[in-house]
Structure 1
Amino acid sequence: MKGWVRGLLILSAIVVVAAYLAMPILTVRALVRAAETGDEAALERLVDFPAFRESLKEQLTGRLMAEMREDERTDDSALAGLGMLFGPMLVDGAVDALVNPQAIAAMVETAEAPGPADAVTPSEPASEDGEIRKSYAYRDLNTFVLGLTDPERPDETLKLLLKRDGPFGWKLAGVELPNPPPEGEVAPSEAR
């Protein structure tokens, strides 16, 4: 009798650990399926929009500030100071307006962060075959990364960050934008 109880406890522990480790993959699949079918209700459930917007704002603001600091034309300009002051506010407003279930779906389908044009017309899959490569990895026990790569831009991987939401729940809560191509180099998507 003792062996039976012990075996049941071990089996239960294995099932709990397997479910604990597999839940982000199931969430990613649900996110991709919702994006492909345009299921806005599912996307609302699967995305922590305030956290996602904040993550995107931080990255876009950081890029904007870095570009402004590197631009030689703005070294001594009073307009550069205004740009540094108002740039983050413009980014905040644009991200708040652009990040919605349709924008998340477009990101999953195209492996591109939303831009101002996406507010007017939804993005089409960037690659000819429409097949975005997906990679999965744990960053830590509470962060799971979905990497999205367009085969036409293999060096630009958009990383969607899922954060743990309770013991078994996960939500899309952040993004890591791909590094822009080096200055002077044309991105393959711009060359088309």
Structure 2
Amino acid sequence: MSLQKRIWDLIVLGIFVFAATFASAPWFAFRALKAAAQYEDVQAISELVDFPAVRRSLTGQLKEAAPVAAAEPPSIWRDPLGAMRRAIEPIAPPEPKVDRYLTIAGISALTRGYAPGAAPAGPARPETVGGKIRAVVRGPYPTIVYWDPNRVRVAMKRPGQPGRVTVFSFQRTALFTWKLVHIRLPREER
């Protein structure tokens, strides 16, 4: 084989490796997010998630429906006891629903396909090589439902309920760096 042929083969191999790495980087970003949440690695999660963007996306999905007609507040003239009770009640805003999704436990549950607080305990980490291989083969697997050079959507089906799918949208920030910018929850959980 000539030197030119070997150089050409190395160039073609380099292009193939670059393309494969570029195309599979979002999948590895999702796996890194799942592992970081499982091992409670706050630093890694903060590097992989754009929290303001994810908070905005979840807030839009978790908005409570406005009441059709709010009851008129009690009047001092019509209901003096109700007005006094209302005046001394503590005024506390309701807890935002988004906060439970953006905790380590919430992100871990979402990457496994469950709603926060509804995920069963994770299986124990196998010690043997055979056990690790069985754990990988068993699944569940994330699937890429959309891919373009700057945005990728990864879907995670809930184990046992394939109709409930959580979709994670990643955006490219550097050549091989991807950040989570949006989470679409299953319709039943919105």
- Name the TM-score class by shorter chain: 0.5 to 0.7
Distance (Å, rounded) in 2 between the aligned partners of 1:126 and 1:16: 39
Deviations 1:77-102 (A, max 9, x none): 256xxxxxxxxx979x5425752334
User: In structure 1, what is the equivalent of residue 75 of structure 2?
Assistant: none
- Match of residue 146 from structure 2: 139
CA deviation string 1:107-153 (max 9, x = no partner): 224521x4xxxxxxxx2524997987332215131222332222333
- Structure 1 gaps, min length 5: 80-88, 115-122, 182-192
Whichever of the two has the greater Rg, that structure is 2
* Residue 179 (str. 1) matches residue 187 (str. 2): yes
**Contact in 2 for aligned 1:111/1:148 (Cα 8 Å):** no
Determine the C-alpha separation between the residues in 2 that align with 1:129 and 1:98. Answer: 21
C-alpha separation between the residues in 2 aligned to 1:5 and 1:47? 40
Contact 1:134–1:146 at 8 Å: present in 2 too?
no
**Which structure carries more helix by proportion?**
1
Identify which of 116, 119, 126 aligns with 1:125: 119
Unaligned runs of 5+ in 2: 72-92, 125-137
Structure 2-normalised TM-score?
0.65
Query: How many percent of aligned residue pairs carry the same amino acid?
Result: 26
- Tell me the CA shift for residue 55 of structure 1: 1.2
Q: Match of 2:16?
A: 14
Aligned length: 153
> Under a length normalisation based on structure 1, what TM-score does the superposition of the two structures give?
0.64
Structure 1's 97 and 32: CA in aligned 2 closer, same or farther, altered over 3 A? closer
Q: CA deviation at 1:154?
A: 2.5
In the other structure, the counterpart of 2:104 is 101
Q: Provide the secondary structure at the position in 1 that maps to 2:62.
A: helix
Aligned residue in 2 for 1:148: 156
The 5-angstrom pairing of residues 19-98 of structure 1 reads 19-61=21-63, 64-65=64-65, 68=66, 74=68, 77-78=69-70, 93-95=96-98
